[in-house]
Chains A and B, each alone.
Chain A
Amino acid sequence: MQRIGVFVCWCGSNIAATVDVAAVSDTLKNEPGVVFSTNYQYMCSESGQNILKDAIRDYQLTGVVICSCSPRMHEATFRKAAAAAGLNPYMVEIANIREQCSWIHKDKAAGTEKAIILGRAAIAKVHLNAPLTAGESPVTKRALVIGGGIAGIQTALDIAEAGFEVDIVEKQPTIGGKMTQLDKTFPTLDCAACILTPKMVDCAQNENISIYAYSEVEEVKGFVGNFHVKIRKKARYVDTTKCTGCGLCTEKCPVKKVSNEFNLGLDNRRAVYIPFAQAVPKVATIDADHCNMLKSGKCGLCAKVCTAGAIDYKQKDEIIDREYGAIVVATGYQPIALDKYDEFAYSQSKDVVTSLEFERLTNAAGPTGGTLLRPSDGTHPHTLVFVQCVGSRCEDDGRGKSYCSKICCMYTAKHAMLVREKYPDTEVYVFYIDVRTPGKNFDEFYRRAVEEYGVHYIKGMVGKVAPRADGKLMVQACDLLANEQLHIEADMVILAAAIEPDPSARHLATMLTASMDTNDFFTEAHPKLRPVESPTAGIFLSGVCQGPKDIPETVSQASAAAAKAIGLLAKNKLTCNPCVAHSDEWMCNGCSACEKVCPYGAITYMDKEFRMPDRTTAIRRVASVNPAVCQGCGACTVACPSGAMDLDGFSNSQIMAEVDAICKMK
């Protein structure tokens, strides 16, 4: 018989307001096996934990039930406290009477009754608990960073700096991500390339960092500390060890009309290309969809001009197998497609552009060499209209996103300011719903745009943009403060498109078994206290893949994710989850049913000698579970026809006892 202690937490008034905590602890005192029962204001506080520790020692408790918040919140806390008092941590069970009782029930009588039943179920389970000892598994001291934008670069640099190997996998031909496309960065207006490209070079030169550009993660297996990853290195048709990045091939290639994705289709590139001058790795890539040689076998001009002999039309995709201890996701974002926003005429007029396209149009390395020209006719625009919140903060209507994209207010202020500074003859209008500028020096920046640069900020949305035959754009908008409708003849309209997670993220999340929210942003383990970890152990989150954020925030989150990954890699051994399956060898009949359902391949069969009751020796085929590989899902326990397989911590008898306790309520 166990000696069980019951501890009921008030959680201030969170539990005590709708659950009579004294009644719960008094009632549970009479349960069989309970030798001690009490209630306290904050069980998780230090004094609360001391009550637990003292009771374990004073009453020689062999099992503990804590009626408190969700086990997802404080199970680890109480287990640690129990261990400190000399009790096996797995003899602690939590009855969730906050999230699943006091917070959802308004009626105190019903809440109290339910709390008692949940307490009884936990007591029934503890009766059948057995002390468990966690095993250990080794840690592969190498990290994988998926995504080579500023988030991935910063994470990789920090991990490498700590002395661990890092691989960056980037699907584009170069690392750098969206930040390479930006012109200036708010709020200090330093040029994006000037602060980013040195970091890219650092990545390339750091001996701890390997860059797999133009590659994608194909398969992820394993678990924290021991991930096995297959990386598909897509064929560039260029030998990266030979290519010097001289760019001669890109000048001679006869296929000239391929839309240049780096400039967002505002100009063209060749079929063999280097995305931009500071690309890392700076090697050429042949676009197989457009290359004449690869399509029809007729050309081969690039191979002829290449003095290094780097062109290889027969190159194939390469699969690389690597092992990692930690994985950092830094897949970033993309602006949403605006084809459903007909009212802004984005698909109808070349002069209606997204803000990212506007970055290219004002970038010195962009298609216009940094001179702001209308894309339609190459003339100088005089009136510019910026529209904020295009697709952000929308009700779920199939066009936009429900969240605020966070960065648009600031980059629009930046664009408006830069245009006014460079071209004082322009009129710049910004239509906003709210200007959201929380951040260091952010509001001052926005105020400068209004006060010093005379940007017209107008509260109200643009309702319609109509291209006129003479090339002007008629903007119809509302000034809510003046209560009048405005009709502006604009030369260019710039739409602050909402941002969304990169489309590759969902597939990746499935491979990583990491969870996502309804907007496809990765979810963090705790929204406040564990913001850079995924709930899946060993997976960390860096940058916009977790939620919209600007560059300063991305970089700080990237470093935070790196710190968490370093913390993991610095360990030599990891404590495994002791709640793993085990098979009763006497009951096992060697049918292989469990082996077939195990998603981890943790079950193997072996022939073992058994001394039978009649004193003969028999060799029987029995299942054996590798506790380091088993993740404790329990699929095998249900598949087992003889009932030999059971799961520690969630055994058949334990769950059955919980069912009994819950159903026995009359």
Chain B
Amino acid sequence: MSKEFDREQILRTSGVNPRKCMRCGKCSATCPSYDEMEYHPHQFVYMVEKGQLDELMASKSIYKCLSCFACVERCPRGVEPARLVEAVRLQVVRQQGNNHLKANDIPALLDDDLPQQAIVTALRKYSK
């Protein structure tokens, strides 16, 4: 599938307009899993706009996002980066044709250090 199609699909499923971004970086400043991510929320916005989707879709970052929506809440321009991360992830999952992870597999992967929110969002993330 073409890159342009991916990009449009991502923008459509997320409803995000990356052009609204004024590059303030508050999303990445606020991100609790920043250090886990290879590409950070502000880079998602920038890279989707520039069409650098292969890197994003191959990156582990899309699974490291906690979906805590802190960036959505605090973005001064209403860009909603987390929705973009989720849309990229969804695009990958859809193209794989099956789930990256089955809901039943999740309990085995849990450990005590995992934040509560991550457990809840795991289901949301991996079972689309």
Please state if B20 and A461 are interface contacts (CB–CB under 8 Å). no
Please state if B30 and A464 are interface contacts (CB–CB under 8 Å). yes
Nearest CB in chain B: distance from A600 CB, A: 45
For A476, the chain B residues whose CB sits under 8 A away are: 29-30
A420-463 vs B, CB cutoff 8 Å, 1 = contact: the mask equals 00000000000001000000000000000000000000011111
For A478, the chain B residues whose CB sits under 8 A away are: 25-26, 28-29, 31, 34, 40, 42
**Residues of B23-75 whose CB lies within 8 A of A:** 23-31, 34-35, 40, 42-43, 70, 74
Give the residue name and chain of the A residue nearest to B20 (CB): A395
Number of A-B contacts (CB under 8 A): 66
Report the bound CA distance from A343 to B25 in whole Å.
15
For B29, the chain A residues whose CB sits under 8 A away are: 460-464, 476-478, 485
Nearest CB in chain B: distance from A127 CB, A: 51
Nearest CB in chain B: distance from A604 CB, A: 57
- In the complex where A476-B30, A485-B31 touch, is A394 in contact with B76 (Cβ < 8 A)? yes
Please state if B77 and A461 are interface contacts (CB–CB under 8 Å). no
- In the complex where A463-B29, A464-B30 touch, is A433 in contact with B42 (Cβ < 8 A)? no
Give the residue name and chain of the B residue nearest to A343 (CB): B74
Task: Among A394, A480, A483, A485, point to the contact of B77 (Cβ < 8 A).
Answer: A394
- Asked whether A393 is an interface residue with its Cβ less than 8 Å from the other chain, the reply is yes
Please state if A393 and B40 are interface contacts (CB–CB under 8 Å). no
- Asked whether B15 is an interface residue with its Cβ less than 8 Å from the other chain, the reply is no
- In the complex where A459-B25, A460-B24, A460-B29 touch, is A480 in contact with B78 (Cβ < 8 A)? no
Please state if B30 and A480 are interface contacts (CB–CB under 8 Å). no
For B40, the chain A residues whose CB sits under 8 A away are: 478, 483, 485
For B74, the chain A residues whose CB sits under 8 A away are: 343, 463
Please state if A433 and B31 are interface contacts (CB–CB under 8 Å). no
- Asked whether A397 is an interface residue with its Cβ less than 8 Å from the other chain, the reply is yes
For A461, the chain B residues whose CB sits under 8 A away are: 24-26, 29, 76
Report the bound CA distance from A645 to B50 in whole Å.
65
- Asked whether B22 is an interface residue with its Cβ less than 8 Å from the other chain, the reply is yes
**Residues of B67-123 whose CB lies within 8 A of A:** 70, 74, 76-78
Report the bound CA distance from A461 to B25 in whole Å.
5
- Asked whether A568 is an interface residue with its Cβ less than 8 Å from the other chain, the reply is no
For B78, the chain A residues whose CB sits under 8 A away are: 395, 397
Nearest CB in chain A: distance from B83 CB, A: 15
Nearest CB in chain A: distance from B6 CB, A: 24
For A463, the chain B residues whose CB sits under 8 A away are: 26-31, 70, 74
Task: Among B25, B35, B70, B77, point to the contact of A460 (Cβ < 8 A).
Answer: B25
Report the bound CA distance from A433 to B20 in whole Å.
14
- Asked whether A389 is an interface residue with its Cβ less than 8 Å from the other chain, the reply is yes
Report the bound CA distance from A343 to B68 in whole Å.
15
For B27, the chain A residues whose CB sits under 8 A away are: 463
- Asked whether A649 is an interface residue with its Cβ less than 8 Å from the other chain, the reply is no
Please state if A400 and B76 are interface contacts (CB–CB under 8 Å). yes
B interface, size bucket: 20 to 34
For B23, the chain A residues whose CB sits under 8 A away are: 433, 480
For A480, the chain B residues whose CB sits under 8 A away are: 23, 25, 28, 42
Task: Among A397, A433, A485, point to the contact of B22 (Cβ < 8 A).
Answer: A433
Nearest CB in chain A: distance from B85 CB, A: 16
Nearest CB in chain A: distance from B53 CB, A: 19
Please state if A485 and B28 are interface contacts (CB–CB under 8 Å). yes
For B20, the chain A residues whose CB sits under 8 A away are: 395
Report the bound CA distance from A477 to B29 in whole Å.
4
**Residues of A451-501 whose CB lies within 8 A of B:** 459-464, 476-478, 480, 483, 485
For B76, the chain A residues whose CB sits under 8 A away are: 389, 393-395, 397, 400, 461
Give the residue name and chain of the A residue nearest to B41 (CB): A478
Nearest CB in chain B: distance from A129 CB, A: 50
Name the residue in A433, A463, A476 with the highest tally of chain B Cβ atoms < 10 Å from its Cβ.
Answer: A463
Nearest CB in chain A: distance from B71 CB, A: 8
For A459, the chain B residues whose CB sits under 8 A away are: 25
Give the residue name and chain of the B residue nearest to A341 (CB): B74
Name the residue in A389, A394, A459, A478 with the highest tally of chain B Cβ atoms < 10 Å from its Cβ.
Answer: A478
For A394, the chain B residues whose CB sits under 8 A away are: 76-77
Give the residue name and chain of the B residue nearest to A400 (CB): B76
Nearest CB in chain A: distance from B20 CB, A: 7
Give the residue name and chain of the B residue nearest to A392 (CB): B76
Nearest CB in chain B: distance from A322 CB, A: 45
Nearest CB in chain B: distance from A391 CB, A: 8
Name the residue in B26, B31, B42 with the highest tally of chain A Cβ atoms < 10 Å from its Cβ.
Answer: B26
- In the complex where A397-B78, A485-B35 touch, is A343 in contact with B30 (Cβ < 8 A)? yes
**Residues of A273-324 whose CB lies within 8 A of B:** none
Give the residue name and chain of the A residue nearest to B78 (CB): A395
Report the bound CA distance from A395 to B78 in whole Å.
6
Give the residue name and chain of the A residue nearest to B28 (CB): A478
Give the residue name and chain of the A residue nearest to B30 (CB): A463
Nearest CB in chain B: distance from A346 CB, A: 14
Report the bound CA distance from A531 to B23 in whole Å.
32
Nearest CB in chain A: distance from B41 CB, A: 9
Report the bound CA distance from A400 to B29 in whole Å.
19
Report the bound CA distance from A295 to B29 in whole Å.
51
Report the bound CA distance from A525 to B40 in whole Å.
46
Report the bound CA distance from A478 to B37 in whole Å.
13
Report the bound CA distance from A485 to B20 in whole Å.
23
Nearest CB in chain B: distance from A433 CB, A: 4
Please state if B77 and A395 are interface contacts (CB–CB under 8 Å). yes
A332-356 vs B, CB cutoff 8 Å, 1 = contact: the mask equals 0000000000010000000000000
A199-212 vs B, CB cutoff 8 Å, 1 = contact: the mask equals 00000000000000
Please state if A460 and B22 are interface contacts (CB–CB under 8 Å). no
Nearest CB in chain A: distance from B59 CB, A: 14
For B25, the chain A residues whose CB sits under 8 A away are: 433, 459-461, 478, 480
Give the residue name and chain of the B residue nearest to A395 (CB): B78
Nearest CB in chain B: distance from A531 CB, A: 27
Report the bound CA distance from A283 to B70 in whole Å.
51
Chain B residues packing against A (C-beta within 8 Å): 20, 22-31, 34-35, 40, 42-43, 70, 74, 76-78
Please list the 3 inter-chain residue pairs (A to B) with the smallest Cβ-Cβ separation, ordered nearest first: A463-B30, A463-B29, A461-B26
Q: List 27 A-B contacts (CB under 8 A).
A: A389-B24, A389-B76, A393-B76, A395-B20, A395-B77, A395-B78, A397-B76, A397-B78, A433-B22, A433-B23, A433-B24, A433-B25, A460-B24, A460-B25, A460-B28, A461-B29, A461-B76, A463-B26, A463-B29, A463-B31, A464-B30, A477-B29, A478-B31, A478-B34, A480-B23, A485-B34, A485-B35
Extra pairs beyond A343-B30, A461-B29, A485-B40 (17, CB < 8 Å): A343-B74, A389-B24, A394-B76, A395-B76, A400-B76, A433-B22, A460-B28, A461-B25, A463-B30, A463-B70, A463-B74, A478-B26, A478-B34, A478-B40, A480-B28, A483-B43, A485-B34
